[in-house]
Amino acid sequence: MNIPYLRAILCAAFLAGPALSHAARAEEPLISAGNIKACFIDLQEVLRNYPEYAKAKETLEEWAKPKQKLITEKERQIQQLDNDLKKNLLRSEDSKKEKEGEFKKELGGYQDLVKQLQSELAEKEDELLSPVKETLSKSIEEVSKSKGFNVVFDAAAPSGRPILYVDDSLDITEAVISRVKEAVKSKSEKPEEKKK
């Protein structure tokens, strides 16, 4: 049996377990393993065959090149200052403190620049890739629904985020919220009963 397929089935069963036990207790529409029809895709393969993704990625890389060049230049300057500090150990205390102050100032400026550029990169990436992600997400949902699947796994995903789509009918969030509220309410009522 194909390992990614087996992994998808096991994940679906694992996810369905708590839903089944809660649904049975709450007398709500039953979500069962029979109701779950799962499939998987290789998201990396889809992206490799998606020209807009390649264009967005290329545009992002081109946008980032001058920023990377600026960072590399700043790193070189800081390295040079560090080397100067190490070479001139025989300087006067005032001279050493001045060079150390200059080094700390440059290092702080470098760190601020890196943070700023990382933030700009994240914004640019979001700007360029949002339409791609939206189209991809919509396509996954449409194909899944047309083929009768209600859970889609990314077969190549690391363990962090393998589920790409789940039919809303499998969402038991509101039922869990109600159950939590009931549990909290019953716990708060029990101490009052003991006091009586």
* Per-residue pLDDT at 10 exceeds 50: no
Instruction: Please write the tens of the pLDDT for every residue from 108-133.
Output: 999 999 999 999 999 999 999 999 99
In a domain, 85, yes or no: yes
Whole-number Å distance between alpha carbons of 87 and 71: 24
Asked whether residue 116 falls in the same domain as residue 167, the answer is no
% of the chain exceeding 70 in pLDDT: 76
Eight-state DSSP code of residue 41: E
Asked whether residue 92 falls in the same domain as residue 125, the answer is yes
Domain boundary among 138, 168, 183: 138
pLDDT reported for residue 167: 77
Domain boundary among 110, 138, 166: 138
In a domain, 67, yes or no: yes
Task: Give the end-to-end CA distance of the chain in Å, rounded to a whole number.
Answer: 62
pTM of the model: 0.60
Asked whether residue 19 falls in the same domain as residue 63, the answer is no
Whole-number Å distance between alpha carbons of 172 and 156: 27
- Mean local confidence (pLDDT), 170-193: 74
In a domain, 44, yes or no: no
* Of 66, 71, 64, residue with least CA distance to 120: 64
Cα angle, residue 97 at apex, residues 93 and 98 outer, rounded to 5°: 115
Q: Which domain holds residue 79?
A: 56-138
In a domain, 185, yes or no: yes
Q: How many domains does the chain divide into?
A: 2
Binned at pLDDT 50, 70 and 90, residue 191 comes out as low
